[in-house]
Amino acid sequence: LDTMVGLAEEGMTMLCVTHEMGFARTVANRVIFMDKGEIVEQAAPNDFFDNPQSDRTKLFLSQIIH
């Protein structure tokens, strides 16, 4: 993950599929949340984690972030 953080800091564009929410919040400039193959929500990391809009996203985040 450190290598990917370094590349992101250098401005490299990348698409990452991850369950590591801390990594996504730190590195991403956009978070896309999918459920059953469908996009449920997409937002800037701070908006996604601090103010989720969909009930599915809220449920997911409540289960993984304590």
**37: three-class secondary structure by DSSP:** coil
Please provide the average confidence, as pLDDT, over all residues in the chain.
91
Residue 31 has pLDDT above 80, yes or no: yes
How many domains does the structure of the chain reveal? 1
Residue 65 has pLDDT above 80, yes or no: no
Place of tokens 């989720």: 52
Looking at residue 12, what is its pLDDT?
86
Query: Band of the pLDDT at 66, cuts 50, 70, 90?
Result: low
How far apart are alpha carbons 42 and 35 in whole angstroms? 12
Q: Residue 33 sits in which domain range?
A: 2-64
Looking at residue 25, what is its pLDDT?
92
Give the HSE-up count for residue 32: Cα atoms under 13 Å, Cβ half-sphere: 7
Give the HSE-up count for residue 11: Cα atoms under 13 Å, Cβ half-sphere: 0
How far apart are alpha carbons 2 and 43 in whole angstroms? 23
Record the pTM.
0.80
